[in-house]
Amino acid sequence: MENNKYKVGISLGDYNGIGAEVIIKVLEDERIYRFCSVVVYGQKNVISFYAKQLKIQNFNIQEVKDTENLNPKLPNIINVWNEQVQVQPGQLTTEAGARAMLCLNAGIKDLVEKKIDVLVTGPVNKSSMSQHHPEFTGQTEHVSKAAGNENSMMLLVDDGLRVGLVTNHVSLKDVTGKIDINLILAKLEVLNQTLKQDFLISKPRIAVLGLNPHAGDNSLLGKEEKDIIAPAVNRAKEKGIIAVGPFSADGFFGSQHFKKFDAVLAMYHDQGLVPFKTLSFGSGVNYTAGLNVVRTSPDHGTGYDIAGKDLANSDSLRAAIFTGIDIIRNREIYSEMIANPVEKVLVDKE
């Protein structure tokens, strides 16, 4: 039934970046409506501006006031603001940042209130967002706080490659002071659970990276591996989590060792994202694991340098939508599995 399709919300992001362009490119393909109803949190005039830039004739997007009566065969849009704005492709402006926050918050509100099943967040600029909201450090943290679980995890996903982070948007000089045994253990627990319920991997294998070059080189280059990371891995094993490490990050990815694991836990942002985007840029998805709601995002930024030039690739946004739908389906299957476990039957062997 069309009325029972999953509802996917997409926040516009920074309207001076490539967010609107990739949204249009994905939503003009009518095949997507076989799987979901879509609502954009943004402003119709902005979408119309970029449709003209892309020379797309008659891009039909329906204005709605809420998510109750979405058109299942067309893209829908909730106008988060009504006043006219000056769209300046490629420009960083505080006005675009302020309205990106309005779009994000509108989507989060409907997600938390279960009015949509998945929220896909468009790319934003942290600098322009933080000028109005100094506490803003990233959409992952913002969504997690609103959903009531700040111990969530940024998890980058692309087919069999999954890379989670212990610390997200933290200055490199502060990373060492942030990580400890309890934090790494907590992240391993989140990652283990999400692999089971969101990706239906019954016995996930997780590789854990070290912090220092060569994983400390027997404490010659740092003791965090010996004093913090290895003990956290051991405690995870005691809890039944199949965790292995710490591995030296360069050799681990360079030797393709990551293919032997269901996920990788990196200690800090660039340690995980540099190899991930090298291997998967353009098709990867940023997923916020550990929440009772589903939020995904394309793995790219605002792309100011190509905004409005019809150069943006929409594959990552498309992947973010379908990854979110897959996760919702997997959670339904997982809930049924744990609610009705198969009883063990003892058979006498004669």
Nearest to 39 by CA among 69, 10, 68, 15: 10
Helix 19-27 vs helix 44-53: crossing angle, to nearest 10: 80
Quick one: 61 exposed, middle or buried, by C-beta within 10 A (0-12, 13-18, 19+)?
Answer: buried
Six token digits for residue 64: 């709605």
pLDDT at 345 over 70: no
Six token digits for residue 52: 């003209």
What's the pLDDT at 150?
A: 77
Q: Among residues of the chain, what percentage have pLDDT more than 70?
A: 96
Q: Model-level pTM?
A: 0.91
Using CA atoms, how far apart are residues 279 and 210, in angstroms rounded to an integer? 20
Do strands 263-266 and 205-209 pair parallel, antiparallel, or not at all (unpaired)?
parallel
Task: State which amino acid sits at residue 133.
Answer: H
In the chain, CATH 3.40.718.10 sits at 1-152+291-350, 153-287
Q: Which residues contact 278 (CB under 8 A, 6 or more apart)?
A: none
Nearest to 167 by CA among 186, 147, 153, 157: 153
CATH number for the segment(s) 1-152+291-350: 3.40.718.10
pLDDT tens profile 79-114 = 999 999 999 999 999 999 999 999 999 999 999 999
Which residues make beta-bridge pairs with 347? none
pLDDT at 130 over 80: yes
CATH classification (class only), 153-287: alpha beta
